[in-house]
A and B are shown apart, each in its own frame.
Chain A
Amino acid sequence: MSSLRISGGTIYDPANGVEGHVGDIWIVDGQVVEAPAEPDASADRTLDATGLVVMPGGIDMHCHIAGPKVNTARKMVPDDKRKAEPVRRTLLTRSGSGGSVPSTFATGYLYAGLGYTTAFDAAVPPLAARHAHEELQDTPVIDKGFYVLMGNNHYVMKQLAAGEPGRLKAYIAWLLQSTKGYAAKLVNPGGVEVWKSGGGNVHGIDETVDHFNVTPRQIIRGVASAVGELGLPHPVHIHCNNLGLPGNHATTMETMKSLEGHRGHLTHIQFHSYDGDPDDQSTFGSRVPELSEYVNSHENLTIDVGQVMFGNTISMTGDGPLGYYLHQITGRKWFSGDTEMEAGCGIVPIVYKQKSLVHALQWAIGLEWYLLVDDPWRIAMSTDHPNGGSFLAYPEIISLLMDRERRREVLAGAPAAVSDRCTLRDLDREYSLNEIAIITRAAPARMLGLAHKGHLGPGADGDVTLYSPDDDIQRMFELPRYVVSRGEVIVDDAQIVRDTRGRTLHVEPDYDPDAVDDIQEWFEKTYSIQFRNYPVEDHYLQDPLVVPTV
């Protein structure tokens, strides 16, 4: 039994209604426990947190950190990596490369250094699940998992077209078990299949997908409903159709409506909130006010933002036709990878420029989302790392949210037309520390159904971040004083002092075993590997934890 006492810190634990109270946190064997009743109780180790801000460890609910597209992106940009600050080997820790797509070891250490202790990769093709798990095993410190791509899966579309909701539900459960994944992810539902089958895309949620006689609306509603019936801890995670296109707000609004009251999480919604004519970038503008009003009035919806930050990055997506679109508008090198029966992938390096009207609007539209969603429990911080920018930009985003003058300074350096086409200049709201604690840890934990994360009450994982208060908010969040994972001090004054492996989080929803025969028959006709070699075995998981269905 090992114990840690974090003593006298100013605690922000919004899930338990604690806002800036001075107190102690006790962690025994990796879990938060009630403070002992006896006043002279002592712990194996005590951290003096006097004057420090104490929060649960951060949770990144939508990033791209493992699996084939991430690794392909790494291989693709040696130029970016050569210029970036590397992560140096120490006596205790492995080395790595940085930049927009850090190597696996670097990813774990950089998240930990930022006070984040949990992260989920948002888009893994099932056929590559084994690969994603291998990378996650080599991603130290943080707890992790991934979402499984399903929105262009042939079996999913066939069951929807055939009106077989039972088979659909069983397949989703079987697929999550086979991949050891965490949640169901839709990426441009139906559109990727259209791209794979001869080029093109769908342009709205009521277009029919070639060969499958099904619409994106049916896919969204059908999967949302099945996920709800299975009681998965996280609802369907949706990357809408028409990402990035001017005028796509209408698709986004229709997508929210298509859920018909089912729970749904709309991801990187910044990229889906645009006004304008799809064929004319110069008409680009924001439609966040009306979309956020819809989110505010519909409790079944949660979102993460996908904030764009200025600089060099790389776009990587399961949205194959989007990759082609980005290649066409940027003229830069392009990777596309189609996975049989399941998914697509597009990767293109990209530079977001403050002087570009479109890019500056994307930046402003992301901030509008943070500032126009009333309930912080339904919005999570993300850059869609690395698509909008690196996760390393989170401290900068926090400072923008907490300081309206800083926002206005950036806006002053952007094209003047930005302020005519969005409401950012007029938004005075400033986030409090408590609200920051919500959107970076408590809310994502709740959206993910992780009862043991995102808070500091008894039973919670002993994942804690301690910050030194600083007038420079960005610096405060960039350099936590201590980071604790499962009761062990991992980061002390910007140094990794202990290397741990983290855990794999996954789900095991029940399904009717009789449903497998039909899946197997289809699989054996179509795939290029053997059915028995598809499911991921337990030994690929790092200290696994099954998160229960509800």
Chain B
Amino acid sequence: MSATDAATEPSPGLRVVRDATCTFCGCVCDDMELTVEGNHITKAKNACVLGKAWFFNHHIEDRPEALIDGQPAGYDQAMDRAAEILLSARFPLTYGLSDTTTEAQRVALAITDWIGGIVDTTTSVCHGPSGIAFQSVGEVTCSLGEVKNRADYVIFWGGNPAESHPRHFTKYSLMPKGEFVPNGRKDRTAVLIDVRKTKSAKAVDHFLRVKPRRDFELAWALRALARGVELDPSIEETTGIPLETLEEIMDGMKKAKFGVILFGMGLTMTRGKHFNSEAVLALARDMNEHTRWSAKPMRGHGNVTGADNVVSWSTGYPFGVHLGSGFPRFNPGEFTASDVLARGEADAALIIASDPMSNFSQPARDHLEGIPSVVLDPKLSDTARIASVAITTSTYGINTGGTVYRMDDVPIPLRPAFDSPYKSDLEILRGIESRIRQRQLSGSLPDPAASGV
């Protein structure tokens, strides 16, 4: 499938692709203007430093279509072998999915359902705790355009957008002039809460340096102040922030017309994890007794939000879903990829657009290395290196079209810049699915659900 809106020319010429989308981070900026010369992007107007690196460093590498046990192989052979591995497994794991299109994610879900495996995404190692917190307290949130048009008080908590989401300040949260904040930055008060003074501190009005691992206490202190509860000045010893400062911040929060808390993994992956996310979600919720407040996790990967959505609509649960009993079951910790691998449970893996060998725990990596695996990746990642079947795919957003969900759940179409000689994740996954279905429907295999795993 190709949604390239300017046709690829036979000889290397100069083309411009407007309104293209950068899938590098969860901002999913869709206002890229890419200049393409042959198989290279030479200019990326509107891209941030990360986006430029994403676009400029993308080259079509001269790699085989696939490697089977380290030996070059064609796509057909690789898809045959992949289907065989997945069909032979009793406890297969599908993992990754956050850097591919929703179209490909949907087929990955179908495969996992047909073979009765586990499906998990990188959410379980980033904002999984926020997902769990959401299930306990809910969430008051909004689209990024609401932040742009209304937010007059913005709190960044446990994140460093200046370096992780460089255009967030200029495109959505701080600088833009909006319908109800016509003077842009001047109409907004900005606060950064973090354990260290990062580059983002320069962009805000108040930097609150919270003691490491005290985010939970800080959120509850603010909740108490929101309710009018008197706090002991010793709160400074606990959180590192003087009571007067907290009172001043709360006063500003109550006077705001529309506030938002944008929180990162500094909150979700530190001591307390989902309790921290819960406390911050509850704080934003409580503030609605005074004025309007929202909260929003700052998601990292380009389409991790799409993955959450696809897993949820297909199974009813957001990540860590077990389909081995013939229906979806959800239990983070039991059915999340790093845990399943570390306990040595999965007996095959399908890894899509993710590199667990570079970031999972040693026991998880050891186990993954020892089981048959199918890996789809444009690059020869650490995980692709250990795969039984490593399939080279084209890069989403640069070479293939499809859909990506921004961190605020807004779905955005991709306008690829140039064609790749490699197939997309979607094409490969469809090929694997059709092979699996052929075998299942021909009656040559028992239905895994019937065996009551």
Chain A interface, >50% SS class: mixed
Partner of A138, one of B313, B440, B447: B313
* A207-232 Cβ-contact flags toward B at 8 Å (1 or 0): 00001000000000000000000000
In chain B, residues 75-94, which have Cβ atoms closer than 8 Å to a Cβ of chain A?
none
By the criterion CB–CB under 8 Å, are B328 and A97 in contact? yes
By the criterion CB–CB under 8 Å, are A537 and B315 in contact? no
Residues of A within 8 A of B318 (CB): 75
* B437-453 Cβ-contact flags toward A at 8 Å (1 or 0): 00011000001010000
Residues A341 and B145 in contact in the complex (CB < 8 Å), given A88-B327, A89-B326, A533-B412: yes
Partner of A530, one of B31, B114, B258, B406: B31
By the criterion CB–CB under 8 Å, are B328 and A95 in contact? yes
Q: Which of B35-43, B288-296, B338-346 lies at the interface with chain A?
A: B288-296
Partner of B409, one of A74, A131, A138: A131
Interface check B323, CB cutoff 8 A: yes
Residues of B within 8 A of A47 (CB): none
By the criterion CB–CB under 8 Å, are B138 and A76 in contact? yes
Interface check A297, CB cutoff 8 A: no
By the criterion CB–CB under 8 Å, are B313 and A86 in contact? no
Cα(A528)–Cα(B410), bound, Å: 10
By the criterion CB–CB under 8 Å, are A68 and B134 in contact? no
Cα(A530)–Cα(B46), bound, Å: 13
Interface check A334, CB cutoff 8 A: yes
In the complex, what residue of chain A is closest to B105 when comparing beta carbons?
A: A134
Interface check B57, CB cutoff 8 A: no
Interface hub of A68, A95, A211, A528 (most chain B Cβ within 10 A): A528
Q: Residues on A close to B: CB < 8 A?
A: 66, 68, 70-71, 74-78, 81-82, 86-91, 94-97, 99, 101-106, 127-128, 130-131, 134-135, 138, 154, 195-199, 211, 324, 327, 333-341, 347-348, 525-530, 532-533, 537
Question: Can you pick out 9 interface pairs between chain A and chain B where the beta carbons lie within 8 Å of each other?
Answer: A74-B317, A78-B135, A88-B326, A95-B113, A95-B315, A197-B150, A211-B180, A337-B409, A338-B294
By the criterion CB–CB under 8 Å, are A94 and B113 in contact? yes
Residues A533 and B113 in contact in the complex (CB < 8 Å), given A86-B328, A339-B146: no
Q: How many A-B residue pairs have CB under 8 A?
A: 195
In chain B, residues 309-358, which have Cβ atoms closer than 8 Å to a Cβ of chain A?
309, 312-318, 323, 326-330
Residues of B within 8 A of A68 (CB): 409
Residues of B within 8 A of A131 (CB): 309, 405, 409, 411
Residues of B within 8 A of A106 (CB): 316
By the criterion CB–CB under 8 Å, are B316 and A130 in contact? no
Residues A335 and B140 in contact in the complex (CB < 8 Å), given A95-B328, A533-B412: yes
Residues A95 and B313 in contact in the complex (CB < 8 Å), given A68-B409, A199-B291, A335-B138: no
Interface check B245, CB cutoff 8 A: no
Residues of B within 8 A of A195 (CB): 292
Residues of A within 8 A of B131 (CB): 75
Interface hub of B136, B172, B285, B314 (most chain A Cβ within 10 A): B314
Partner of A89, one of B106, B113, B292: B113
Cα(A528)–Cα(B31), bound, Å: 10
By the criterion CB–CB under 8 Å, are B294 and A75 in contact? no
By the criterion CB–CB under 8 Å, are B134 and A340 in contact? no
Instruction: Give the top 3 A-B pairs by smallest Cβ distance, nearest first.
Output: A340-B145, A97-B316, A86-B327
Residues A135 and B313 in contact in the complex (CB < 8 Å), given A339-B143, A533-B30: yes
By the criterion CB–CB under 8 Å, are A533 and B403 in contact? no
By the criterion CB–CB under 8 Å, are A333 and B327 in contact? no
Residues of B within 8 A of A529 (CB): 30, 145, 406, 410, 412
In chain B, residues 5-31, which have Cβ atoms closer than 8 Å to a Cβ of chain A?
18-19, 21, 30-31
Cα(A196)–Cα(B447), bound, Å: 51
Cα(A525)–Cα(B178), bound, Å: 8
Residues of A within 8 A of B114 (CB): 89
Interface check B205, CB cutoff 8 A: no
Cα(A82)–Cα(B179), bound, Å: 44
Cα(A197)–Cα(B179), bound, Å: 11
Residues of B within 8 A of A127 (CB): 143, 410
Residues of B within 8 A of A335 (CB): 134, 138-141
Cα(A49)–Cα(B238), bound, Å: 76
Partner of A96, one of B327, B403, B411, B440: B327
Interface check B171, CB cutoff 8 A: yes
By the criterion CB–CB under 8 Å, are A527 and B145 in contact? yes
By the criterion CB–CB under 8 Å, are B328 and A347 in contact? no
In the complex, what residue of chain B is closest to A337 when comparing beta carbons?
A: B141
Residues of A within 8 A of B316 (CB): 74, 78, 81, 96-97, 99, 101-103, 106
Residues of B within 8 A of A337 (CB): 141-143, 409
Cα(A337)–Cα(B285), bound, Å: 12
Residues of B within 8 A of A75 (CB): 131, 134-135, 308, 312, 317-318
Q: Residues on B close to A: CB < 8 A?
A: 3, 18-19, 21, 30-31, 102, 106, 110, 113-114, 116, 131, 134-146, 148-150, 171-172, 178-180, 257-258, 285, 288, 291-292, 294, 308-309, 312-318, 323, 326-330, 403, 405-406, 409-413, 440-441, 447, 449
Cα(A333)–Cα(B281), bound, Å: 11
Cα(A130)–Cα(B19), bound, Å: 17
Residues of A within 8 A of B144 (CB): 340, 528
Cα(A197)–Cα(B257), bound, Å: 7
Residues of B within 8 A of A70 (CB): 313
By the criterion CB–CB under 8 Å, are B110 and A94 in contact? yes
By the criterion CB–CB under 8 Å, are B447 and A340 in contact? no
By the criterion CB–CB under 8 Å, are A339 and B288 in contact? no
In the complex, what residue of chain B is closest to A107 when comparing beta carbons?
A: B313
With A134-B313, A333-B136 known, 8 other A-B pairs at CB within 8 A are A66-B313, A86-B328, A89-B114, A89-B323, A94-B314, A96-B316, A198-B257, A530-B31
Partner of B315, one of A91, A96, A99, A526: A96
Residues A528 and B315 in contact in the complex (CB < 8 Å), given A95-B113, A335-B140, A533-B30: no
Residues of B within 8 A of A197 (CB): 150, 180, 257-258, 292
Partner of B317, one of A78, A327, A528: A78
Cα(A104)–Cα(B310), bound, Å: 10
Residues of B within 8 A of A338 (CB): 141-143, 146, 294
Partner of B288, one of A74, A130, A199: A199
By the criterion CB–CB under 8 Å, are A78 and B330 in contact? yes
In the complex, what residue of chain A is closest to B311 when comparing beta carbons?
A: A75
Q: Report the minimum CB–CB distance from A201 to chain B (whole Å).
A: 12
Q: Report the minimum CB–CB distance from B198 to chain A (whole Å).
A: 24
By the criterion CB–CB under 8 Å, are B413 and A95 in contact? no
Residues of A within 8 A of B102 (CB): 134
In the complex, what residue of chain B is closest to A328 when comparing beta carbons?
A: B289
Residues A97 and B315 in contact in the complex (CB < 8 Å), given A86-B328, A127-B410, A128-B409: yes
Cα(A125)–Cα(B27), bound, Å: 20
Residues A95 and B326 in contact in the complex (CB < 8 Å), given A338-B294, A529-B412: yes
Cα(A70)–Cα(B180), bound, Å: 29
Partner of B403, one of A78, A134, A528: A134
Cα(A96)–Cα(B102), bound, Å: 18
Partner of A81, one of B18, B308, B330: B330
In the complex, what residue of chain A is closest to B137 when comparing beta carbons?
A: A333
Residues of B within 8 A of A88 (CB): 326-327, 449
Residues A336 and B140 in contact in the complex (CB < 8 Å), given A87-B327, A130-B411, A533-B19: yes
Residues of A within 8 A of B411 (CB): 128, 130-131, 134
By the criterion CB–CB under 8 Å, are B138 and A528 in contact? no
Cα(A82)–Cα(B419), bound, Å: 45
Cα(A77)–Cα(B312), bound, Å: 11
Residues of B within 8 A of A91 (CB): 440-441, 447
Cα(A103)–Cα(B309), bound, Å: 11
In the complex, what residue of chain A is closest to B449 when comparing beta carbons?
A: A89
Q: Report the minimum CB–CB distance from B363 to chain A (whole Å).
A: 27
Partner of A537, one of B141, B150, B328, B413: B413
By the criterion CB–CB under 8 Å, are B327 and A339 in contact? no
Residues of A within 8 A of B136 (CB): 333
Partner of B145, one of A99, A130, A327, A528: A528
Q: Report the minimum CB–CB distance from B452 to chain A (whole Å).
A: 11
